[in-house]
Chain A
């Protein structure tokens, strides 16, 4: 610590200039950072589920699409059809779009003198009422399009816009939105599909956070001013967080990373967390000034006395965030990287930049007689009497809370379906529900089967499977070669039977290939060896998704069994994979966060016992966090899955500060009770300022209209309250109890 001080004293001006210059450079890069919203990008590229999804997309065409639903009193009238035709054209020409399917370009297999004829269903837009009527009759008989491209009442029509796989979905979605805007009215348009939902979620997050960030900063400034009653007490912590936010974004951009939906909370998180280190340094500096030290001496004291605790606190916070690297989701790993970097920068700035600034500032008389608020006094007196008078009831209460939490934890459900993020009545939810209701869903579920389509047994089982599959809840629109053959037979022989011999199938195929090569390439590979069944699924919760996909698996076993290899893929499979990884990642990162925190605190405090005591309150906090989630029925999703690790990282700081001060004081006083009181009164204050800043910061997010942000902000604020009291009440209670029980004075001395 001595060395740090000397370094800062010697180079204070250079440090200030370097930090400012670097911040400007980083700011330039930070402004260029992208936000990404692909659901596939959340999973690692080597995941078998992602691989299958991509393989199927490569073979049969993209599985990522947006459903554009048009609602009008009559979709077949001239103006609406012309609109659909023009939109189909515009969508096809949009960059990132691979294919468009609409009422004006769907293919029809027709019978006739020349065998069959495949052409566009609507080659001429009907003009008269009788033409419309006859088109309606034709369309109504086409089972593969009814309920998929249009509703039987001809009031709704669907345009499916498929995406090029490599393209960023949110960019394509915004292009599609722009096109839709041009054509709006009198027809109504509704957009659905995973790309739309994920994009909307990201945009909501972005919008709410950028709106709320100024309020978060203002709230923290207010808390800081109430705490320090001085300008530099406010400005220095705020500057610290601004620098760390800019650097964190800039470095991520330089590393080629982009922000995801969840890392948009990064600025808020860093504003709340990053200010802590500055607060402790500045608070100790003021303590020194009050005691009458010279400014350089006060800075030196601050670095020497809280430097180690700040480094430890920052280190454990970094570990808490870094533990999220153990998540199996890329999106959370990226978040871990960004926050770990940000916290590291905030730590560095607090230890080096702030002292460098303080050395170059004059000590005003004002800073020597800063008055404290009555409220703060009362809080600390209250806490003190609580700890010393009600030690045993408190212990009982804590044990009860622990038991209660453990009991409700198994009831926590996971959720990876984004639609759950939207309030009822929001445009996104309304559109999705309408599309589900009228067209049976906007999420593709595909079954890919290895087996030669010319095998009549396979074709028969595909038909049986499809018939059963659409009876499952939320599964609709099963389409495959079965339907094409049925249409073909309808055209040839006026019956919807599927061909039953190998030769028949081969010749049906030959006839189709002669008529339209593309028609079958959607369902069948060139070598006839792989075929797929396309279905759609409605937007439902992960729990229901899991049930339905499980039922589908059973049907696959029943109909394809050993003979043919069949697998499910599609967006629900991806989102279930995310769901599973949320849990496995949660367990891994929690265990590692707690363990590493234990290791670090044990090492720095040179005792496993000390490390254990410091870690205990935060373990309690994590338990209570899950307990609350269980009671309030808050689901574990990609946002809430991070809270436990965030809580460990941030919350353990309070315990560290209390504990290091306690050891310092106990060595001086050789009286644990008195040492505890002093620690609570001194460093406890810095803890309070810090906790208040973090809690107020996160509470501002509660104002968001976006539910996942509300639960994230609320739960984080809550865990901060718990960990603050964990450090100021539970930890002293534990320390006192330990001394009382063992009757040994050297209990917490070095091992």
Chain B
């Protein structure tokens, strides 16, 4: 009796180990991220994004921006609407592993460099932080996070790799993150962000994934702050890959024009 019980227990433990241990899986967390990078990144990208900001009382604010990016070190956000903030620009440049951000508000004048402490602040009043946005823009996720593959799970009817990541960058406000990556095409479908007290803070979901110029592109990205009850929906349109964008676009002089 004793012996039989011990055998069952051993099988269970081994079984658990087989299912959850990354070492048994054919691929590591870092490798999954490599594939994600390949899927999402492109040389250049241009898109229009409508940002719908919803507060806890379900009231909405809408803003439209154009985002252009080149490589994984140059990004520019320019406001198209509403008219009263048109021309407001936000530039990100990464040089020698150091990320710099500038902001230009036409009615106030002067390009202003954004201090590093603001990167965890709200991006243009949305539920995204600057860091979240720069991650979307293709900044190197792997350099900021240490990721492990926690297993394979079902999400939204799809088999996904579940990644668990801890930030390696001291400046990142999250304690940890979870990412669901579609096993079939390496598109991240969902991310969960946990606060310093390890409570779920925000959930990001990618929907309406389309193949544009050979790139799988989520056309609707939602960031929901579950603690505050607010959310921001980004709707992408006019997405173009590998268009010619001169380097001078990504300068402080250009954004003031």
Contact = CB atoms under 8 A, between A and B. Distances in A.
Interface of A: 112-115, 117, 454, 492, 499, 501-508, 510-511, 513-517, 525-527
Contacts of A504: 107-108
24 contacts: A112-B115, A113-B113, A114-B114, A115-B105, A117-B115, A503-B84, A503-B85, A504-B107, A504-B108, A505-B84, A506-B107, A507-B84, A507-B88, A507-B105, A507-B108, A508-B108, A510-B88, A511-B108, A513-B125, A514-B121, A515-B121, A517-B122, A526-B59, A526-B61
A-B pairs, 3 with minimum CB distance: A513-B125, A114-B115, A506-B84
B119 to A, nearest CB: 10
B125 A517 contact: yes
B19 interface: no
Contacts of A114: 103, 112-115, 117-118
Interface string B41-83: 0000000000000010101010000000000000000000010
Given A503-B84, A526-B55, A527-B59, A117 B106 contact: no
Given A117-B117, A502-B84, A526-B61, 16 more contacts: A112-B115, A115-B105, A499-B107, A501-B107, A503-B84, A503-B85, A503-B106, A504-B107, A507-B84, A507-B85, A507-B105, A511-B105, A511-B108, A513-B122, A517-B122, A527-B61
B105 A510 contact: yes
B108 to A, nearest CB: 5
Given A114-B114, A454-B84, A515-B118, A507 B107 contact: yes
B27 interface: no
A93 to B, nearest CB: 15
A265 B242 CA distance: 84
Indicate the member of A499, A503, A515 with the most B CB atoms within 10 Å. A503
A505 B82 CA distance: 13
Interface of B: 55, 57, 59, 61, 82, 84-85, 88, 103, 105-108, 112-115, 117-118, 121-125
Nearest to B130: A514
Given A113-B112, A115-B103, A513 B84 contact: no
A454 B82 CA distance: 12
A507 B104 CA distance: 10
A113 B100 CA distance: 12
A122 B110 CA distance: 29
A507 B118 contact: no
A514 to B, nearest CB: 6
A381 B238 CA distance: 108
A517 B117 CA distance: 16
Contacts of A502: 84
Given A117-B117, A514-B118, A527-B61, A503 B107 contact: yes
Contacts of B106: 503, 507
Contacts of B113: 113-114
A525 B56 CA distance: 12
Contacts of B124: 510, 513-514
A513 B105 CA distance: 13
Contacts of B118: 114, 117, 514-515
Contacts of A501: 107
A510 B117 contact: no
A525 B112 CA distance: 28
Contacts of B84: 454, 502-503, 505-507
Contacts of A515: 118, 121-122
A602 B218 CA distance: 86
A501 B83 CA distance: 13
Contacts of A516: 121
Nearest to A521: B55
B167 to A, nearest CB: 22
A511 B113 CA distance: 13
Contacts of B114: 114-115
A248 B243 CA distance: 84
A112 B113 CA distance: 9
A553 B108 CA distance: 35
B200 to A, nearest CB: 20
A499 B105 CA distance: 13
A526 B105 CA distance: 21
B85 A115 contact: no
